[in-house]
Amino acid sequence: MSWLNLDRRKAQLVAARDLRDAISELRLILAMVGLTIAIPLACAIGVRGLALYGGGTSVVNRLSVVGAFFVVFIPASFSLVLALESFVGERERTTLEVLISTPLKEAEIYAGKVAAVLAISLTLCYGGLAVYCLAVFPGLGYFPLDVLIALALSTICQVAAMVAGAVIISLNARTMRAANVMASFIILPMSVALQTEAAL
């Protein structure tokens, strides 16, 4: 793929097309709303309930930080679904051949698809984190700003790695089932990384 001759405008067209497809499906919209609002609020209710019924300040503070990592990781995992769908989904729908037959280069198609999934994934991650923080920390008298900033920055790296890897898998997989199996080699190391971050 010739990255040096990448036309950003064409890559943006591919990204806009994928974004339009993603927000046009009701099931994806419901999943996004759940990941951004429902799960963070459920976690926040659990933490606030523990604080209300005497879970201990140190325990509650620690759990509130772990909850922040959790509500970020779940949307990041969802990004794998979108990334896997990017190529293998189009191949199964027989629309990939149409896309490749256009004047677009492989690098432009790849960059556009990665950009679309990254935009959705980071929006979900940061949206969920914002909802969680607004629901949890104001009533605790505790706000780990340094931890949350580190989490926000590390999220970019984790999501970018997961999306890039998943798109490569999608590019080479023949069926969605095969892509899902191969995706476990991405999700397992990332879940270990998340647990390590939360423990530190």
Residues with Cβ within 8 Å of 7's Cβ and at least 6 positions away in sequence, in order, are 105, 108
Report the pLDDT value the prediction gives residue 192, as an integer from 0 to 100. Answer: 74
How crowded is residue 58: how many other Cβ atoms within 10 Å of its Cβ?
8
Report the pLDDT value the prediction gives residue 130, as an integer from 0 to 100. Answer: 92
Task: Write out residues in the chain with pLDDT < 50, as ranges.
Answer: 1-2
Which residue reads 């089932």 in tokens?
177
CA 14 to chain centre: 19
CB 40 within 8 A of CB 135: yes
CB 121 within 8 A of CB 76: yes
Report the pLDDT value the prediction gives residue 198, as an integer from 0 to 100. Answer: 61
pTM score, two decimals? Answer: 0.80
Report the pLDDT value the prediction gives residue 115, as an integer from 0 to 100. Answer: 87
- Secondary structure letter of residue 31 according to DSSP: H
Report the pLDDT value the prediction gives residue 15, as an integer from 0 to 100. Answer: 85
